[in-house]
Amino acid sequence: MFTFSQEQERRVAQFSHYLNLMQERQRLIKQGDSFIIFEDCQNGDDPDNRHLNEAKKVPRTLSFHLAGRNVGPDSATLDATIEIDLPEEGWRNDDSAPRFVQFRFNARYFDLDIPNTTLDPMEAKDILLNRSGFFFVKDCRQFEYPKERVDTFNPLRKVYLPGDERSAAEDMAYVWFTVWKYPVDWRFYVTANAFKVLVSWERGFPIE
């Protein structure tokens, strides 16, 4: 019988494997970016899911200056009473709606993206307080994609350099298993594509 920590480590390694695989795939792409989405159910064709799309394919200017937003476990204080300026609108309002986490890759970096339509305010606060480096894109416009409609769909985002796949996998595991409280053996569905190149690697592929 595996313990919870052993099962969680297995899932982190699984997530990390896919992120490393995406780095390899991105290196093979001649132009444009790629993405991978982890969903809690098999409905990747649902147009109501606010996934990455072709309107966001122009690369943004890279900046790793996130002053004042690093309020994770390495910060001086970790207090649930800390005031965090959260968006007022756009939150998840249907408990039965699917959950998903997505990553976008380019030649220089990748990022984890959690649209606010799949979060409620307390979940967002939990992530901001307990995982360093997250920010709302509306508060850090240098990380905004052109035509992203951040004023309507304001994602919670974190930027990683190549080599940080394990850290990104741990962050995603925290979201799924600690914040959203999914069973650690939950079956997820993976979709991975490139934007400009006609290639599709996974489409609703189950992993558990």
Distance between first and last Cα of the chain: 16
Per-residue model confidence (pLDDT) at position 65: 31
pTM here is 0.78
List the single range of 123-127, 143-147, 163-167 with lowest mean pLDDT: 143-147
Residue 120 has pLDDT above 60, yes or no: yes
Closest CA to 176 of 205, 201, 208: 208
136-65-100 Cα angle (round to 5): 30
* Mean per-residue pLDDT over the chain, rounded: 79
Residue 135 has pLDDT above 80, yes or no: yes
DSSP 163: T
Report pLDDT digits (tens) over 35-94. 999 999 986 444 334 344 333 332 222 323 332 333 333 333 334 444 566 766 777 878
Per-residue model confidence (pLDDT) at position 66: 30
